Amino acid sequence: MPVPEPGAGEVLLRVLAVGLCGSDAHWFDEGGIGDATLSGGLVLGHEFCGVIESGPRTGERVAVDPAIPCLSCEQCAVGRRHLCLNIRFAGHGNTDGGLRSHLAWPERCLVPIPIHLSDEEGALLEPLGVALHAIDLGVLEVGASVGVAGCGPIGLLLIAALRERGVARIVVSDRLAHRLRAATAMGATATISATEDDDELEAWRVAGGAGVDVFFETSGTDTALHSALASTRPGGRVVLVGIPTRDRTSFVASVARRKELTIALCRRMVHQDLVRAASLAAGNLTGVDRLVSHSYPLTAAEEAFAVLTERTGLKVVVIP
């Protein structure tokens, strides 16, 4: 693509690294996410960082907030800019994302990357921001126990952030052994091999005891949600972070109703979460440097997407 000319409030950004996300896989495999479908060619990629090549901040490495809110609708006015009614989002709908060499992006959406982070790690700040937003929705109390279903990159970053907050009991599940090993390395205190039968529920009963206080479901499957509802204590909270393939989520209502569970859905992140992610990564957040398992040049993007969809690694990064 040609190098763009920045508009008002924008700077030219040379892309350094792009992390591939599960939502990218939905666009790649299904041509859309839920009711958002392709109307033409779309450049994917919303987890990315770059270096500014125009204006007074030239030479600065930055993480990119992929969301561009309108700043004038009622949601923006009350501070819920991630729920903006006119939002544009990189790699979604009609807004091209970061899988290219250069792009113009609003300067207000760019956050400095801590100097000791690599470019690949800089691309992880956006999903870390999503994890932090999910934790906020979980409303964790002191001493809370937590469950996490799905140990992909978001789940693993959740575990790392939870440990950083001092959560001592984190029970996790996944179908893939290499992801469970990564979860343990990130700080999970107990792991469960996810299955399609009642063995998993029994494993959750043993590991979760009377039930965890907050459960984060990051896989987007009804099976994982069933485990979440069954394994959360009465009065607890379940936060849905994963995106279902068929744009439909269902569960046994009586299980959730009798426990009077609170079910929250996570919508990306707010801009301040990206600022918080950069600050957290500047400290001693454990394991982020081990999360990138595969790195490819842009010319090998098809291979990168194959690794993403086959789930043979952890985080897949493309270097334009």
Task: Examine the domain organization and report whether 89 and 190 are in the same domain.
Answer: no
Task: Examine the domain organization and report whether 260 and 172 are in the same domain.
Answer: yes
Mean pLDDT of the chain: 90
Question: Angle formed by the axes of helices 271-282 and 125-138, to 10°?
Answer: 110
pLDDT tens sequence across 246-285: 788 888 899 899 999 999 999 999 999 999 999 998 887 7
Task: Examine the domain organization and report whether 248 and 311 are in the same domain.
Answer: no
The total of other beta-carbon atoms located within 10 Å of residue 23's CB is: 19
Domain harbouring 92, CATH code: 3.90.180.10
Q: What is the pLDDT of residue 55?
A: 93
Confidence of residue 223 (pLDDT cuts 50, 70, 90): confident
In a domain, 271, yes or no: no
Residues 163 and 152: their CA atoms lie apart, in Å, by 17
Mean pLDDT computed over 64-90: 94
Task: Examine the domain organization and report whether 120 and 133 are in the same domain.
Answer: no
* Strand pairing report for 61-64 and 67-68: unpaired
Residues 152 and 149: their CA atoms lie apart, in Å, by 9
Task: Examine the domain organization and report whether 120 and 24 are in the same domain.
Answer: yes
Residues 48 and 14: their CA atoms lie apart, in Å, by 11
Least confident residue range of 33-37, 158-162, 214-218, 225-229? 33-37
Least confident residue range of 96-100, 204-208, 290-294? 204-208
Closest CA to 18 of 97, 106, 114: 97
Question: Angle formed by the axes of helices 22-30 and 301-310, to 10°?
Answer: 110
In a domain, 270, yes or no: no
Task: Examine the domain organization and report whether 204 and 160 are in the same domain.
Answer: yes
**What are residue 194's phi and psi, to 5 degrees?**
-70, 140
Q: What is the pLDDT of residue 207?
A: 63
* Strand pairing report for 61-64 and 110-112: antiparallel
How would DSSP label each residue in 74-114?
HHHHTT-GGG-TT-EETTBTTB--SSSSEEEEEGGGEEEPP
Task: Examine the domain organization and report whether 182 and 134 are in the same domain.
Answer: yes
pLDDT tens sequence across 5-45: 999 999 999 999 999 988 888 888 888 887 888 888 899 99
In a domain, 285, yes or no: no
* Strand pairing report for 102-106 and 32-33: unpaired
In a domain, 83, yes or no: yes
pLDDT tens sequence across 153-206: 999 999 999 999 999 999 999 999 999 999 999 999 999 888 766 566 667 766
Q: Which amino acid is it at 261?
A: L
The domain of 94 spans 10-124+291-319
Alpha-helical runs (H) found in 150-220 = 153-164, 177-186, 198-208
Closest CA to 291 of 116, 125, 91: 125
Q: What is the pLDDT of residue 112?
A: 96
Q: What is the pLDDT of residue 196?
A: 63
Q: What is the pLDDT of residue 288?
A: 79
Q: What is the pLDDT of residue 208?
A: 60
Task: Examine the domain organization and report whether 29 and 148 are in the same domain.
Answer: no
**Can you say whether the dihedral through the CA atoms of 111, 273, 148, 92 is positive or negative?**
negative
91 phi-psi bin (left φ>0, alpha ψ -120 to 50, beta other): left
Q: What is the pLDDT of residue 31?
A: 83
In a domain, 277, yes or no: no
Task: Examine the domain organization and report whether 135 and 261 are in the same domain.
Answer: yes
Residues 173 and 230: their CA atoms lie apart, in Å, by 14
Please state the domain count of the chain: 2
Enter the DSSP assignment of 187. T
In a domain, 243, yes or no: yes
Contact between residue 182 and residue 313 where contact means Cβ atoms under 8 Å apart: no
Task: Examine the domain organization and report whether 116 and 150 are in the same domain.
Answer: no
- Say what the alpha-carbon torsion angle 69, 285, 16, 311 is, to the nearest 10 degrees: -90
Confidence of residue 220 (pLDDT cuts 50, 70, 90): confident
Task: Examine the domain organization and report whether 240 and 138 are in the same domain.
Answer: yes
Domain harbouring 168, CATH code: 3.40.50.720
In a domain, 220, yes or no: yes
Task: Examine the domain organization and report whether 298 and 232 are in the same domain.
Answer: no
Q: What is the pLDDT of residue 87?
A: 94
Say what percent of the chain tops pLDDT 70. 95
In a domain, 280, yes or no: no
Confidence of residue 290 (pLDDT cuts 50, 70, 90): confident
Cα separation values, 113 from 10, 90, 146, 226, 280, Å: 18, 19, 29, 38, 11
